[in-house]
Amino acid sequence: MLEDIIKERLRKKKDLENLGRDVYPSKIKRTHLIADALGSFAALAKQKKKVFIAGRVIGLRIQGGVGFADVQDGSGAKIQVVLKKDILADFNVLKNDLDIGDFLEVSGPLFKTQRGEKSVDVKSARIIVKSLRPLPSVWHGLKDVEERFRKRYLDLILNADVKEQLARRSQIVEYIRNFLTKEGFLEMETPILQPIPGGANARPFVTHHNALDADFYLRVAPELYLKRLLIGGFEKIFEIGRNFRNEGIDRDHNPEFTALELYWAYQDYEGLMKFTQGLLKKFIPGKWKTVAFAEVFKKFAGRDWKTAKSGELEEIYKKEVRPKIVEPTFVVDYPESIMPLAKLKENDPALTESFQVIVNGVEIIKGFSELNDPAIQRAQMERQEKSFRAGNPEASRLDEDFLEALEYGMPPAAGLGLGIDRLAALVAKSHSVKEIIAFPTLRPKE
C-alpha cells in the first residue's frame, strides 16, 4: 500500500513538472506567520488586506468547484484556506495533484465562513513542496514509541506538544545563559576531543586522530579545562555544551547530553547554593530543603555510610537513597570518595564541601568548593588512576598537565554542573530525558 501511494505521488509530481510547475522553488512569498495572521485577524479582515501564508497541508477536502485545506506553519497555528474554481486558474491542478503533507503558498484576504471559521479567501495558490510519502496519520499512524524517536521529524509534525517541549528546552538554555551573563559570567568553550578523560567518574568514548596517530576521548566533562582558565585569571566562567559518557541508557541518562558547568573564583559551596536557588527558582519554585548526606543515607539506607565499602557507597546511594528524595532538596557534605574533586571539610576530612540538588529522585545539579591543593589533588588522582588500572573503566585518570597547572595556583573557587536535559524533563513533567532530546541515542536497526 505504501509503495502504491509513493508511486501515485511521483506521478503527480511528474504531472506538475510537465505543466511547467516548479514543485521545489527557492523563492517563497510570505507576509505573515499563521499565528500572527490569526492574532490580527479582525484588523486584517476589515482592511481586506491580502496576506501571503505558507505551510504544510494537514487537512484537505475538495469536492466539485470548492476545496478546503488546513495549512500549518512553524508558529504552531493552522488556518483554513478556501480554494474556488471560479477564482483559481490552477484549481483543477490543485484538485488533482495536491495531497496532505504537501507545502502550499497561498494569498488572499482573510474572512469568516458561514460557520464562523477564520479562513483565507485564496486568490492565488501554488504547491511549493511535493511530499512523496504520506504522513503516518494518513497511512497507519505513528504508534511505536521508539519509532517516534527514530523519526522525530514525523513526531514533530503530528504531536504539537513534542514541538512545544523542545522549544521550551531551548528557552531554558537561553534563560540560563542570559541569567549568567547578567551576573558577570563569561561563556567559554573547551575541547571535546581530549587526550586524557577527566572531570567525572565515567567511561569515555575513544576515537583515533589519523593525522596525529593518537587516541583521543570525547570529553566526559569540561571541568579540568575550565579550571585551567581559572588558573589563567578568569574568575566567573561557564560553558553549556555536550558531554559524552559510554554508559547505559535509561530515563535519566543518554550517552551524549547537554550540561552547564560553572566556576566562580573566591566563592564557596554555601554561597553557590544560594546562587543556584536564584538561578533555578523560575523552574523549581517553592522552598528547598537542606539535609546532610549522612542523615539522608541513614534514613533511607538504614545504616551509617561509614560501614559501606568505598566501592559500594555510591551505588547504594544511587539505588537506595537518591530515588526516595522527592521534594527539591540540597543534599550536602558528601563523602570524599564520591566527590574526589571537592575540597575537604576542615572539621571532618572524610567529608567534602559539596552539594547536589535532587528533585523527584533525580540529580539535577552537583556542586562543591573546588579542590585547589596540588598535593591532595595528586593523591586523589593517583588513587583514581590505581582504580582504573585495577579494572574500573569509570575511574578518572591522572592528568599530569592539569596537576602542573594547579601547582601555579588556582584561586579558591566553587563550581557546579547542571544537567540541561534533566532540568528540561523536570519542567516538562516528562518521564524520560528522551522526550526532550530532539534525537536521543537508540540501538541501530538491524
Q: Which residues are annotated as a binding site for Mg(2+)?
A: 363
Contact 414, 267 (CB under 8 A): yes
Helix/strand/coil for 56 = strand
List binding-site positions: 363
Left if phi > 0, otherwise alpha if psi is -120 to 50, otherwise beta: which for 199? left
For 249-310, the DSSP string reads -BTTB-SEEEEEEEEEET--HHHHHHHHHHHHTTTS-SPPEEEEHHHHHHHHHSS-GGGS-H
Distance, in Å, from the CA atom of 68 to the CA atom of 51, rounded to the nearest integer, reads: 17
β-strands 78-84, 66-72: how paired?
A: antiparallel
Cell readout for 31 is 507576509
Distance, in Å, from the CA atom of 125 to the CA atom of 340, rounded to the nearest integer, reads: 65
Phi and psi at residue 64, in whole multiples of 5°? 60, -125
Helix/strand/coil for 356 = strand
Scored b (16 or more CB within 10 A) or e, 59-72 reads: ebebeeeebbbbbb
On the CB side of 149, CA atoms within 13 Å amount to 16
Determine the angle formed by the axes of helices 400-407 and 374-389, rounding to 10 degrees. Answer: 170
CA distances from 320 to 326, 338, 356, 392 (A): 13, 15, 16, 22
Which of 99, 72, 100 is closest to 160 using CA atoms?
Answer: 72
Distance, in Å, from the CA atom of 121 to the CA atom of 82, rounded to the nearest integer, reads: 5
